[in-house]
């Protein structure tokens, strides 16, 4: 705060007492000088306090004291009160508890527990799949698509409650992805609504943060999707326990014949060994497909979603229930990470033979920049770029390799096998933006699409690219 203009205030005081001075005698000059000295002293004290930032006691005199006449009687004219001085209070005003943050989009929160954040992602994909000799399909060759276009909101409510709603938009439909309420009490979280039934490390990790354009083949082949249900998870140090009861996907609940119900459980142990984050997990999944006859089919694309061609797939199988179990392991050490998963899916077909199908993946990755893969809550998270382009850096650059196996052959069921050998390169210029390139060499045995002379053993190559923004 600037010092008060001493001269201006002094002049104002002198002007205030000037009419009285005109009516006094010379004998009153001494009294006037004394009052002026007193006014100077008060102004000096006021200026000192303003300089110290303490304006709590600042106030102008309510009135000037009228000088006495020579006869000792009050002067006939009373000087007007000095003009008030507007001085800002020195005591800081408490900042409001409401605030607006930024996590790829504005996040509004209040002091009483409410918060609101828009969320979404846009992924543009392009790909190429080569044609085996003798196989002709319009889905092969070059293709492209808007892989994901999602919008939604999430936030919290007073009392430990939270919510999330996210929709996926395509050219001809709108699909509910997540729609749930949750309640958190310390390490315990209870969730009700459509959400993911704890199917494994890569499936639970967001598609925003995977190492390749598409997840491992078995995750899609074995119908890993979100479902409506109620679940609970408890996280105590390195231990994470998750479990729930689920019905069908929200889109399928409109089908009166769909009365499937199942249970899913997952156990994770994630200790730290020095600076290395470890992850070990396992999961169990059971689904009763309902009283009416149900049919299941397992199949998979050539590790790109831009094409609808499937080189492997089972026939439609009559099933009463299914049972699956998975194993997980991962490690993050500085710029390096590795992860492995396996999953077995058994079908109770009530035909005298219950086939079991199998999938697995093994990947490793390394950052050429000073970045690291992020892990939290039993899943991988998005990288926090240490040297973003916005600050004059080069962003985060990561390379990954993966072996991917899907086996859809058991006994009389010949759905084929797919062995994928993949590499990817990821550039993250700033947080929330990524560009990916992938290459894959896929080897097929007993493929369902015959080639030249009925040959069902062959290989194809695929190249994929993605540009994405997610917030």
CB 444 within 8 A of CB 416: yes
- For 368, other C-beta atoms within 10 Å of its C-beta total 12
Residues 332 and 430 in one domain: yes
Q: What is the CA radius of gyration of the chain?
A: 37
Residues 29 and 122 in one domain: no
pTM for the full predicted model? 0.78
201, 219, 210: which is closest to 376 by C-alpha?
A: 201
Share of the chain above pLDDT 90, in %: 72
What's residue 164's pLDDT? 98
Coil, strand or helix: which one is 179?
A: strand
Question: Please, is 47 exposed, middle or buried when counting C-beta atoms within 10 Å of its C-beta (0-12, 13-18, 19+)?
Answer: middle
Residues 139 and 57 in one domain: no
Structure tokens at 197: 């039934």
Residues 364 and 273 in one domain: yes
- pLDDT band for 96, please (50, 70, 90 cuts): low
Mean of the per-residue pLDDT values of the chain:
86
In a domain, 284, yes or no: yes
Residues 222 and 87 in one domain: no
- pLDDT band for 38, please (50, 70, 90 cuts): confident
What's residue 45's pLDDT? 67
pLDDT surpasses 80 at 24: no
- CATH number of the domain encompassing residue 361: 2.40.160.10
In a domain, 108, yes or no: no
- Residue tagged 């001493």 (tokens): 6
Structural domain for 63, as ranges: 1-91
Strands (E) across 68-134 are located at 99-102, 106-109, 115-129
Number of domains composing the chain:
2
- pLDDT band for 431, please (50, 70, 90 cuts): very high
Among 73, 91, 109, the domain boundary falls at 91
Residues in a beta bridge with 362: 340, 403
- pLDDT band for 396, please (50, 70, 90 cuts): very high
Residues 78 and 124 in one domain: no
Q: Is 77 left (phi over 0), alpha (psi -120 to 50) or beta?
A: beta
pLDDT surpasses 70 at 351: yes
- pLDDT band for 51, please (50, 70, 90 cuts): low
Mean pLDDT check: name the lowest of 86-90, 303-307, 394-398, 463-467. Answer: 86-90
In a domain, 416, yes or no: yes
- CB-based contacts of 226: which residues, under 8 Å, 6+ apart? 177, 178, 194, 195, 196, 197, 249, 250
Among 43, 76, 91, the domain boundary falls at 91
Residues 323 and 363 in one domain: yes
User: What are the phi and psi torsion angles at 46 (to 5°)?
Assistant: -60, -45
The 10s digit of each residue's pLDDT in 142-197 is 999 999 999 999 999 999 999 999 999 976 789 999 999 999 999 999 999 999 99
What's residue 22's pLDDT? 40
pLDDT surpasses 90 at 286: yes
Residues 309 and 349 in one domain: yes
Among 56, 91, 126, the domain boundary falls at 91
Mean per-residue pLDDT for 111-133?
96
CB 397 within 8 A of CB 435: no
CA distance 384 to 373: 8
Mean pLDDT check: name the lowest of 40-49, 75-84, 102-111, 266-275. Answer: 75-84
pLDDT surpasses 50 at 18: no
Mean pLDDT check: name the lowest of 20-24, 158-162, 395-399, 411-415. Answer: 20-24
CA distance 13 to 290: 95
What's residue 56's pLDDT? 41
What's residue 52's pLDDT? 53
Residues 142 and 37 in one domain: no
In a domain, 241, yes or no: yes
Share of the chain above pLDDT 70, in %: 80
CA distance 444 to 419: 7
Mean per-residue pLDDT for 69-74?
39
Mean pLDDT check: name the lowest of 14-28, 225-239, 264-278. Answer: 14-28
In a domain, 128, yes or no: yes
Residues 151 and 286 in one domain: yes
In a domain, 375, yes or no: yes
The 10s digit of each residue's pLDDT in 187-244 is 999 999 999 999 999 999 999 999 999 999 999 999 999 999 999 999 999 999 999 9
What's residue 256's pLDDT? 58
pLDDT surpasses 80 at 93: no
Residue with more model confidence, 334 or 45? 334
Residues 67 and 182 in one domain: no
- pLDDT band for 30, please (50, 70, 90 cuts): low
What's residue 36's pLDDT? 72
- pLDDT band for 251, please (50, 70, 90 cuts): confident
Residues 75 and 130 in one domain: no
What's residue 252's pLDDT? 82
Question: Please, is 448 exposed, middle or buried when counting C-beta atoms within 10 Å of its C-beta (0-12, 13-18, 19+)?
Answer: middle
């Amino acid at each position: 705060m600037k010092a008060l203009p001493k001269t201006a205030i002094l002049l104002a005081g002198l002007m205030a007492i000037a009419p009285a001075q005109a009516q006094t005698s010379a004998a009153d000059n001494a009294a006037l000088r004394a009052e002026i000295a007193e006014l100077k002293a008060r102004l000096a004290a006021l200026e000192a306090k303003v300089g110290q930032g303490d304006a709590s006691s600042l106030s102008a005199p309510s009135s000037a004291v009228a000088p006495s006449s020579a006869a000792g009687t009050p002067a006939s004219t009373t000087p007007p009160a000095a003009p008030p001085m507007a001085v800002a209070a020195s005591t800081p005003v408490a900042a409001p508890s409401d605030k607006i943050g930024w996590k790829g989009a504005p996040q509004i929160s209040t002091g009483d527990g409410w918060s609101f954040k828009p969320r979404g992602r846009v992924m543009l994909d392009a790909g190429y799949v080569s044609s085996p000799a003798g196989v002709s399909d319009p889905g092969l060759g070059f293709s492209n698509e808007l892989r994901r276009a999602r919008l939604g909101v999430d936030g919290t409510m007073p009392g430990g409650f939270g919510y999330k709603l996210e929709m996926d938009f395509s050219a001809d439909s709108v699909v509910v992805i997540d729609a749930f309420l949750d309640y958190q009490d310390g390490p315990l979280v209870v969730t009700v609504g459509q959400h993911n039934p704890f199917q494994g490390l890569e499936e639970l990790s967001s598609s925003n943060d995977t190492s390749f354009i598409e997840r491992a083949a078995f995750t899609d082949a074995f119908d890993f999707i979100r479902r409506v249900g109620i679940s609970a998870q408890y996280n105590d140090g390195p231990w994470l326990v998750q479990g729930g009861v689920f019905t069908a996907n929200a889109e399928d609940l409109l089908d009166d014949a769909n009365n499937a119900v199942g249970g899913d459980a997952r156990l994770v142990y994630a200790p730290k060994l020095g600076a290395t984050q470890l992850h070990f997990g396992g999961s169990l999944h059971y689904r009763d497909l309902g009283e009416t006859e149900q049919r299941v089919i397992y199949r998979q694309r050539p590790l790109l979603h831009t094409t609808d061609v499937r080189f492997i797939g089972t026939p439609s199988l009559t099933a009463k229930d299914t049972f699956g179990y998975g194993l997980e392991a991962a490690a993050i050490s500085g710029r390096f990470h590795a992860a492995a998963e396996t999953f077995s899916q058994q079908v109770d077909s009530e035909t005298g033979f219950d086939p079991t199908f199998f999938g697995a993946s093994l990947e490793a990755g390394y950052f050429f920049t000073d970045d690291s893969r992020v892990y939290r809550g039993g899943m991988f998270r998005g990288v926090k770029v240490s040297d973003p382009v916005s600050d004059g850096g080069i962003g985060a650059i990561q390379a990954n390799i993966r072996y991917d196996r899907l086996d859809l052959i058991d006994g009389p069921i010949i759905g084929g096998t797919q062995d994928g050998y993949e590499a990817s390169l990821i550039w993250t210029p700033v947080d929330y933006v990524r560009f990916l390139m992938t290459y894959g060499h896929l080897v097929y045995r007993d493929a369902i699409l015959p080639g030249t002379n009925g040959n069902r053993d062959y290989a194809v190559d695929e190249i994929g690219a993605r540009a994405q923004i997610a917030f």
